[in-house]
Amino acid sequence: MNAPANVSFSEAPIRHDWTRDEIMALFAMPFMDLVFEAQRVHRLYHDPNKVQLSQLISIKTGGCAEDCGYCSQSAKHAKTTGLTATKLMEVERVLAAAKKAKAGGASRYCMGAAWTSPKDRDMDSILAMVEGVKDLGLETCMTLGMLDDCQTKQLKDAGLDYYNHNVDTSEEYYKEIITTRSYQERIDTLKRVRDAGINVCSGGIVGMGEKPEDRAGMLMTLANLEEHPDSVPINMLVAVPGTPLEHVEKLDPFEFVRTIAVARIMMPKAEVRLSAGRQEMSEETQALCFLAGASSIFYGEQLLTTPNPENNKDMALFSKLGLSPA
Ligand code: SAM
Ligand code: DTB
Ligand code: SF4
């Protein structure tokens, strides 16, 4: 195999000292060698025929004060996207939707809010959602923006299993996409979540017009954290009309598969999630993502504000591939 000279493939070491050159060398491997190696690493820690199903709900949509260039929910893009902002959803509605998600086969329920950070007045409802969803026998995940110490502890005490907070891209490209909060602030929230004993879910988006070096840089940030994130969502940009990234050039699907493969090799134990963008992806590309080590998907016909494949379509694909939900 044409493995880069400086990477040992005899095992799958858990490393936190990746250099960008090493990561670029992984990306540059012949596609077949890269995917084969990713699948080998995948099989050391994961059942290759099982895929975990996480379902999303937007518990508070739109009107967000941040200016993330990809996002339909920034108040800055509201005039052009036409998205109407909502208030925080009632707890009962969230629990009713979670029940449906569980009946449909999801094992984790991910609740997302279009906030810079939660307000203290929202915390009672948020904590009741965590407790209620947990009582249904689902794993819980929340993504609410930045957290302070007190909010993090409250979420932990309520039993929150995972907190999602993405680094989104490389440190260098981040400034081109978001100006209202810094890369370091994101890393600080991740540390707070980790220190509180909540599982970390952190990944990013590709296909935002970034360079290959930025895809490598994003994975370098994630893998060089003190501990690897437990879940790593890799999103293909959903180019939402009315957002600044609406017309960005599409990323070649093979580059997306390579990103999944390199994430798998760098973070062998993590759940690597084939995340947003499946609605526009062929079945064949998705199958290559599973071969490259994706161990999880977002399931259910809606992401946050954009569509996702219907359950029966996903189950038909699973059946063709002999995959089953974890
Ligand atoms: N407001 C919170 C925050 O940003 O931390 C939580 C919700 S936010 C929508 C969660 C993540 O969804 C973002 O960090 C980004 O990685 C992803 N995301 C948002 N819009 C996307 C899009 N159009 N395409 C792909 N991923 C997207
Ligand atoms: C993540 O990495 N992707 C999810 C979840 N974490 C919150 C969100 C994807 C959003 C896609 C665009 C939308 O539906 O608004
Ligand atoms: Fe707000 Fe999150 Fe969207 Fe950024 S990604 S604009 S923080 S909802």
Confidence at residue 6, expressed as pLDDT on a 0 to 100 scale: 52
CA–CA distance, 158 with 281 (Å, rounded to integer): 37
Atom of ligand 3 nearest to the CA of 145: 7
**276 Cα to the center of ligand 2, angstroms:** 6
Look-up: residue for tokens 């967000």? Answer: 64
pLDDT in tens, 259-296: 999 999 999 999 999 999 999 999 999 999 999 999 99
CB 99 within 8 A of CB 129: no
- Taking residue 24's Cβ as centre, other Cβ atoms within 10 Å add up to 17
Which range among 8-12, 39-43, 72-76, 219-223 shows the weakest confidence by mean pLDDT?
8-12
Write down the catalytic residue from 108, 192, 201, 264.
201
Catalytic, 71? Answer: yes
Average confidence (pLDDT) over 125-152: 98
CA–CA distance, 54 with 314 (Å, rounded to integer): 13
Residue 27: alpha-carbon gap to chain centroid: 20
CB 242 within 8 A of CB 80: yes
CA–CA distance, 72 with 306 (Å, rounded to integer): 9
pLDDT in tens, 150-169: 999 999 999 999 999 999 99
Packed helices 253-266 and 212-223: angle between N→C axes, nearest 10 degrees: 20
Share of residues in the chain with pLDDT > 90 (%)? 96
Q: Give 214: exposed, middle or buried? Use CB within 10 Å, 0-12, 13-18, 19+.
A: buried
Nearest ligand atom owner, CA of 141: 2
CB 126 within 8 A of CB 150: no
pLDDT in tens, 57-68: 999 999 999 999
Confidence at residue 11, expressed as pLDDT on a 0 to 100 scale: 82
Catalytic, 289? Answer: no
> What is the residue with the minimal CA distance to atom 21 of ligand 1?
71
Residues with CB under 6 A from ligand 1: 64, 70-71, 73, 112, 114-115, 143, 145, 165-166, 168, 204-205, 235, 237-238, 240, 276, 304
CA–CA distance, 116 with 109 (Å, rounded to integer): 21
Note the pTM of the prediction, 2 decimals.
0.96
Nearest ligand atom owner, CA of 206: 1
